[in-house]
Structure 1
Amino acid sequence: MEKVNEIIADLGFENIITLEDLPKIDLYMDQVIQLFEQKYGATKRTEDEKVLTKTMINNYAKGKLFFSIKNKKYSKEHLILISLIYQLKGALSLNDIKTTLDGLNEKIIAGDFNLEAFYESYLYLFTKNVESFKEDIEEKAKDVNEEITKLEEQDSQYLEKALFIATLVNISNLYRRVAEKLVDEIKECKKS
């Protein structure tokens, strides 16, 4: 697949909220939405797609995905949690995200947890994952190309894309299933 590097470049992996992007002051909901739109707007699949809406944030709050806000303002910790939610929602249900983040919220409320250090570790691993992904995607593209040449079909460009899509979705599902198993382990630990 010749356009794979172009596709990777268009994904906007550099568009992630870092600790430096987070203001030192608390933000109102509209400011939170604006921050996320500025950072992730380029990664939207279509112009109509919304990065974050008031409804989404209200649903996250009602679902207790993050601890309660004060005076209608979102702290740096809220922004970090919302950023994690934004990343997790691509693969996990809101219930699974809640289970995943419950422990973090409890630690934040108790005041004995450095969420910024946790998020910095996440950002470091995010960067490493992107590097591994770029190498892996090129390898998968080569594998797909080799398989397509074996078929000797006329519409090989379409078939190559279809096989590549199926391969990528398969890999995505494998990772998602492992994540869901880990969420289930968290649930089991809470029951004990």
Structure 2
Amino acid sequence: MKIDSKDLLNSILESLDHLNYIPLDEIPNIDLYMDQVTTFMEKGLSPTKRYEEDKILTKTMINNYAKNNLLPPPLKKKYSREHMIVLIFIYYFKNILSIRDIEQLLQPLTEKHFHTDAPLQIDQIYQEVCELEKMQIPDLKEELQKIYQKSEESFSDAPDEYREDLKTFSFICSLSFDIYLKKMIVERLLDDLSDSTSK
């Protein structure tokens, strides 16, 4: 049985209403060992997994992030709340950015706001960024509906037997193009950031 694309869109839009980040007050404010960190991340970020067998963050990944300067090293093999927040950022960024780009993006954050006496600490930055992202969801839903509507109007001359697949293909292409453009913008911002810090 073929899935109705309108039903699929409604399901996606409804899921956006339940999209959430790990609330700051749920991130432990005590230092944790590696096993505790991976357990916490698995529990907190499991709703973002596409497949049940997918791993959120493994010990190897976390060790590599520390070796590659994405994550400040643990203190006496323990990870602080600030480490957990940086790991959450890494988890989301790694789906769209290279390791080098993530390092460049996070370096000023960890240098200036990680266990320092800066006026803004990493937990405050995390809270503000998450609230800002949550506020974007209504606009995102509206944008998705517009893209869907345009794709529904595409391939109007195609034979009925091909049209549904072509409309779905058109919808996916439009969404992918949007992601591609935004990724290019992010990379350009990172390049400009690199240029300004190297001067």
Q: TM-score, normalised by structure 2?
A: 0.89
Counterparts in 2 of 1:45 and 1:12: CA distance versus 1, 3 Å: farther
* 1:87 aligns to 2:92 (yes or no): yes
Q: Does 1:174 align with 2:177?
A: no
SS in 1 for 2:154: helix
Aligned with residue 31 of structure 1, among 30, 36, 40: 36
- Gap runs ≥5 in structure 1: none
- Of 40, 47, 56, the residue aligned with 1:51 is 56
Structure 1 counterpart of 2:153: 146
Deviates more, 1:30-39 or 1:73-82: 30-39
Alignment of structure 1 residues 6-45 onto 2, 5 Å: 6-10=11-15, 14-45=19-50
> 1:138 corresponds to which letter in structure 2?
Q
Q: SS where residue 147 of structure 1 aligns?
A: coil
Aligned length: 192
Q: Is 1:76 the counterpart of 2:81 in the alignment? A: yes
Overall identity of the aligned pairs, in %: 33
SS at match of 1:73: coil
Aligned positions of 1:100-139 closer than 5 A = 100-107=105-112, 108-112=114-118, 113-139=120-146
After the TM superposition, which segments of 4 or more aligned residues of structure 1 sit over 6 Å from their partners? Answer: none
Deviation at residue 77 of structure 1 after TM alignment: 0.7
SS in 2 for 1:50: coil
Give a deviation string over 1:30-74, Cα, whole Å, max 9, x none: 111111111221221112211111111111111111212101111
Shift, 1:10, TM fit: 4.4
Aligned to 1:99: 104
Distance 1:9-1:50 versus aligned 2 partners, 3 A rule:
farther
Question: 2:72: which partner in 1?
Answer: 67
- For structure 2, the 5+ residue unaligned runs are none
**Relative contact order, higher structure (CA 8 A, sep 6+):** 1
Query: Is the contact between residue 67 and residue 109 of structure 1 (CA under 8 Å) also seen in structure 2?
Result: no
Do the aligned residues in 1 keep the contact of 2:16 with 2:137 (CA within 8 Å)?
no
Normalization by structure 1: what TM-score? 0.92
Q: CA deviation at 1:91?
A: 1.0
